Chains A and B, each alone.
Chain A
Amino acid sequence: MELGQMQGRLAEYTRSLYMEGILDAQFLQLQQLQDESNPDFVVEVVSLFFEDSEKLLNDIARALDQQSVDFKRVDAHVHQLKGSSASVGAQRVKDACVAFRNCCEEQNVEGCLRCLQQVKQEHYLVKNKLETLFRLEQQIVAAGGSVPMAEMTF
């Protein structure tokens, strides 16, 4: 595929992610922070996020699995996850976390389990999407092109 096309595809793809609410303006900030002195910033932060969030999700699952659920603990984990997802711009994950915290407040195990599922789903989704995005970027770079700075044109 020719460079121009690839770049077009990337732009389109990125835009769709914003449109669907999978990513929000924060991600754009991340991209803008990336520069020559920090060329892989976005990838680094996002990888860090996924690493951290998977751990958190496991911790949450484990905590919910206990005989007597420690909701404070679950809430703390969810809060962390909310913070980091907000920091990378994973909007839907963040929203799912907000809903999750409500369930925690109600101390409803069933509700929490459902919320956890939801968060996991969103997490999985954004992970895939971003991996695709990065792949596209890599292809462009490999082809000698440069990744255009994302713009919020919508």
Chain B
Amino acid sequence: MTVENQRAGVVVEDMDQDRFPAGMRVLAVDDNPTCLKLLDTLLRKCQYQVTTTNQAVMALKMLRENRNKFDLVISDVNMPDMDGFKLLELLGLEMDLPVIMLSGHSDTELVMKGVTHGACDYLLKPVRIEELKNIWQHVIRRKKFDSKVQNNSLNEDKACHGAGDSRLGVISTLSADQDGKLCRKRKEQNEDEEEDDEENEHENEDASNQKKPRVVWSVELHRKFVAAVNQLGFEKAVPKKILDLMNVEGLTRENVASHLQKYRLYLKRINSVAAQQASMVAALGGADSSYMRMGSLDGFGEFHSLAGSGRLSSSALSSYTPGEMLGRLNSHASLVLRGITSSGLVQASGQNLSSSINTLGQIQPTPLPSNQSASLFQGVLTSLELTQLQQSKCTSSTGDFNPIKDSRGFTAVSNGFSDTRVTVGSSTSLLPGASSHPLVLQGNPQLPDDRGAFVNQYSLGVASLTPDTFDIGGGGCSNFLDHSNNESWQSAIQLSRFSSNAVPLRHELHIKAKMGRTQTGLQSKLEPHCQYQKFCGFCQWYNKSLGPQFGPK
């Protein structure tokens, strides 16, 4: 495997303008050594800078280490350690890199799959040098769209704010964003006011021919994003407002717009799956386990919408007993609980969060049948934190809630529902692995009037749960747990509080219960706090980010 030379690493994000497309940095992934060697040579012949690996996981690791190290990824479809499409999705989600699929198969379905998963191109083996000579166009295309979008959005912003603006923005980003975009790299999580559009425009225009650093939608950032979306209300969440709410320096409206688009797509996909969750939710019943712990709290409120419409079998869901609904987002099963008839969820009595947690704690996460689920989100279901719902408001009758219609989607993604036969069908395996995958939760705004929807969904800005249906008992409704920053945690809590409908993350609640109520207590008490350590996404994430000494018990 060739290692990129040092010089390339130093070049940072700027593309070598003069020589482009020569010097374009390509990462080639193929488990077949013959093909890989051939690909390597062909690419070198095109004067690209080539790095090769025969393992998808290795490729992912390299990309995660430094996403700006490569301009383009070429990957085989059939690989033993990870499905090429899965890799494709991950790459599209995590880093806006153009990805080209390579395969010996030319079946229409496969090509279609490649397209829907976001591949820029689909090449057949044996690959010809003529085709490789042109792959640089995908990199250029992204940049062009990016600057075009920014120009458009700037105009729009000047023209008007509001729905129209965002819609335009979204549309343009939609079209431009087909291949993702190169975004300004988010510098840090300061609370500084994000620079204004003027600045962006200038920077972008200047840099329009240069490769811009990509925005990394980390757990943190996504959390803010979702918080902002929730606060605004899913239907009213327009990129500009989200951006303002997020208050992140270095983030542009376009970044937000494209992320929002992806978020919506995910939610939509989850929707159909979630519809089947209704019965599962019904099964939840009981005040105790009314909520499913949706996923690890790694990325609070982050969840990847499991795509996989219709993959969840509602029957499987209904077999869950409330106590078993503990979803462990950290594991890869992401269960999209859509329409969990909140009966189960909502019932969590606010007072008894701890007990609920305990009950939930007994839930053994079981791997979801679908492999795809593995890739799902973490911590999606903060919505499960409905426990804070006041009992009175909670529809205590389990059967009360109407399953959220598919149109409304929100799907709580939970991992590892025990007995979950719900296959989270996410064809998009969203960031599984690392505990800090930004989760995208998408929900259809039209939540039916039933209470079913999870509040958390709402707070997640997913389904637009009508707030009045849930009256989530005050206190600490925060869907996002800001691990690293107590203040922001609190502000996140503020953000996520959706007219008191926000439901705190279950784990967050139990952390509070265990570790002391103070926000500062959270950080100061770093020792393993939780009996769910093993499958508590938050713990895992938290511990991972804070050091091995705090590893799970």
Taking Cβ atoms with an 8 Å cutoff, the residues of A that contact B are 26, 29-30, 33, 38, 41, 44-45, 48-49, 51-53, 76, 79-80, 82-84, 86-89
Does B66 sit at the interface, judged by CB under 8 A? no
Chain B 72-89 near chain A by CB (<8 Å), digits 1 or 0: 000000100000000000
- CB pair A29 B32 closer than 8 Å: no
**Smallest CB separation, A51 vs chain B (Å):** 8
| Further 12 A-B residue pairs, CB within 8 A, beyond A30-B38, A51-B33 | A33-B129, A38-B41, A41-B41, A45-B41, A48-B37, A52-B34, A82-B104, A86-B126, A87-B32, A87-B125, A87-B126, A89-B126
A87 to B78, CA, bound (A): 16
A36 to B125, CA, bound (A): 26
Between A and B, 8 residue pairs with Cβ closer than 8 Å are A29-B129, A33-B42, A38-B41, A48-B34, A49-B34, A79-B105, A82-B104, A88-B38
Contact partner of A84 (CB less than 8 A), chosen from B34, B105, B129, is B34
Which residues of the partner chain B approach A87 to less than 8 Å between Cβ atoms?
Answer: 32, 34-35, 38, 125-126
- CB pair A83 B104 closer than 8 Å: yes
Q: Which residue of A lies closest to B78 (CB)?
A: A79
Contact partner of B32 (CB less than 8 A), chosen from A38, A41, A83, A89, is A83
Taking Cβ atoms with an 8 Å cutoff, the residues of B that contact A are 31-35, 37-38, 41-42, 45, 78, 104-105, 125-126, 128-129
Q: Which residue of A lies closest to B125 (CB)?
A: A83
**Smallest CB separation, B322 vs chain A (Å):** 38
Q: Which residue of A lies closest to B80 (CB)?
A: A76
A80 to B54, CA, bound (A): 13
Question: A29-B128, A29-B129 known; A84 and B78 CB under 8 Å?
Answer: no
Which residues of the partner chain B approach A82 to less than 8 Å between Cβ atoms?
Answer: 104
Q: Which residue of A lies closest to B130 (CB)?
A: A29
- CB pair B104 A48 closer than 8 Å: no
- CB pair A45 B104 closer than 8 Å: no
Contact partner of A45 (CB less than 8 A), chosen from B37, B125, B128, B129, is B37
Which residues of the partner chain B approach A76 to less than 8 Å between Cβ atoms?
Answer: 78
Which residues of the partner chain A approach B35 to less than 8 Å between Cβ atoms?
Answer: 83-84, 87
- CB pair B37 A44 closer than 8 Å: yes
Question: A83-B125, A86-B125, A87-B125 known; A33 and B41 CB under 8 Å?
Answer: yes
A80 to B35, CA, bound (A): 9
Which residues of the partner chain A approach B31 to less than 8 Å between Cβ atoms?
Answer: 80
